[in-house]
């Protein structure tokens, strides 16, 4: 839903994410530096969001998938069933 393919800093806040059955690349709602690390993600602030799977969607996925290894701030997000907060990849 949010792809930061080369890393990035900033704020992701106040969003409502709902992932449906036919979502491509469904293994993460927010992907950080999956293609390269051209930009630092140090201090990227992900807070006060709501994320869930649509009714009838039964799978496990991650809210944030991080390839950067940088220090992120992930706090105060409301995650529905089937979602795990963070995965370092």
Is the distance from CB of 34 to CB of 67 less than 8 angstroms? yes
pLDDT of 13: 98
pLDDT of 22: 94
Q: Could you tell me which residues come within 8 angstroms of residue 73 by beta carbon, excluding any fewer than 6 positions away?
A: 43, 44, 45, 46, 47
| pLDDT tens series, the chain, 89 aa | 999 999 999 999 999 999 999 998 899 999 999 999 999 999 999 999 999 999 999 999 999 999 999 999 999 999 999 999 999 99
Could you tell me the pTM of the whole model? Answer: 0.95
pLDDT of 62: 98
């Amino acid at each position: 839903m949010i792809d930061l393919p080369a890393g990035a800093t900033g704020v992701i806040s106040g969003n409502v994410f709902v992932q449906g059955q036919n979502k491509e690349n469904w293994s993460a709602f927010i992907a950080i530096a999956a293609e390269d690390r051209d930009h630092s993600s140090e201090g990227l602030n992900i807070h006060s969001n709501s994320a869930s799977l649509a009714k009838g969607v039964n799978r496990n996925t991650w809210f944030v998938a991080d390839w950067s290894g940088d220090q992120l701030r992930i706090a105060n997000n409301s995650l529905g069933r089937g979602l795990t907060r963070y995965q370092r990849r």
